[in-house]
Amino acid sequence: MSLLTRNALIALGITIALAGTVAYTVNYLNRARISELSTIEDQISIDTLSLDTQFSLLEAAPCDSVASSTTLTGELADLGSRLSYAESQLGTNNPQVVRLKDQYSLLEIRDYLITKQLAAACGSKPVIVLYFYSNAGDCSNCDKAGYALSYLRNTYPSLRVYSFDYNLDLGALKTLIAVTKVRDILPAFVVNGKQYYGFTSLSDLEKQFPKGALATTTATSTS
């Protein structure tokens, strides 16, 4: 066998090995992504059932259950983070991602309703933020606004933040937008029933909260 032929065979072998490695890696990553989406979908189903159960329990003793009503806040935030990651990996138009966003948005709306129900029944005054964003490339400051709200939510754990894709084709979301009278000027915020539009900085966003609202919310260390 000539040196040229041997080198050609070695090069071919390396090429085949690299192609096989790439194919295996892509297949592995795809399986991991599908598994992650399935995990999110399962968790959303469980949390939806949990909310249904909470509604039934609150009918009997709403004010005695105020403390337990916040147990899903952290889980919702965690689900939202995982869903955002899946969306960044698979794309905003991926059918499974869109379906999960629909389910997650419904879960958020239901938790928002139960929070308002508790506030009305027990005289509590939670600080609630509805945040509307867009992934259609028409909201240059939406990412910054999202990061700012994540910081506030982590700093003040009793702050209730619900994030929604304004362009999602979901009847319940469209009704929420109509009821809260939010215009398509994004990013948009509804802080305790009052609408605010645009984002410049964290400090400016904090000024949109009712006076003393964040100061009276239990804070945690961000270190």
Per-residue pLDDT tens over the stretch 7-57: 666 666 677 766 666 555 556 555 555 566 777 777 777 776 776 676 666
The pLDDT of residue 219:
45
- Output phi, psi for 174, to 5 deg: -60, -35
Least confident of 36-40, 71-75, 204-208: 71-75
Q: Which of 141, 194, 133, 196 is nearest to 165 (CA)?
A: 133
The pLDDT of residue 221:
37
Distance CA 76, CA 183 (A): 25
The pLDDT of residue 165:
95
Query: Is the distance from CB of 107 to CB of 48 less than 8 angstroms?
Result: yes
Q: Please, what is the average pLDDT of the chain? A: 78
Least confident of 74-83, 128-137, 141-150, 160-169: 74-83
Distance CA 119, CA 123 (A): 5
The pLDDT of residue 118:
79
Distances in Å between the Cα of 140 and the Cα atoms of 40, 67, 86, 133, 146 are 28, 38, 21, 10, 11
Distance CA 163, CA 14 (A): 48
Choice between 59 and 68, residue whose per-residue pLDDT is larger: 59
Radius of gyration of the chain measured on its C-alpha atoms? 23
Please compute the mean of the pLDDT values over residues 211-220 and round it to a whole number: 63
The pLDDT of residue 220:
42
Choice between 60 and 181, residue whose per-residue pLDDT is larger: 181
Sheet of 160-165, strands arranged across = 160-165, 128-133, 188-191, 194-197
% of residues, the chain, pLDDT over 90 = 29
- The pair of structure tokens assigned to 54 is 């909470």
Q: Which of 130, 149, 153, 138 is nearest to 201 (CA)?
A: 149
Asked whether residue 190 carries a pLDDT value surpassing 80, the answer given is: yes
Q: How confident is the model at residue 64 (pLDDT cuts 50, 70, 90)?
A: low
Q: How confident is the model at residue 6 (pLDDT cuts 50, 70, 90)?
A: low
Distance CA 162, CA 80 (A): 10
pTM: 0.74
The pLDDT of residue 31:
59
Choice between 31 and 195, residue whose per-residue pLDDT is larger: 195
Q: How confident is the model at residue 212 (pLDDT cuts 50, 70, 90)?
A: confident
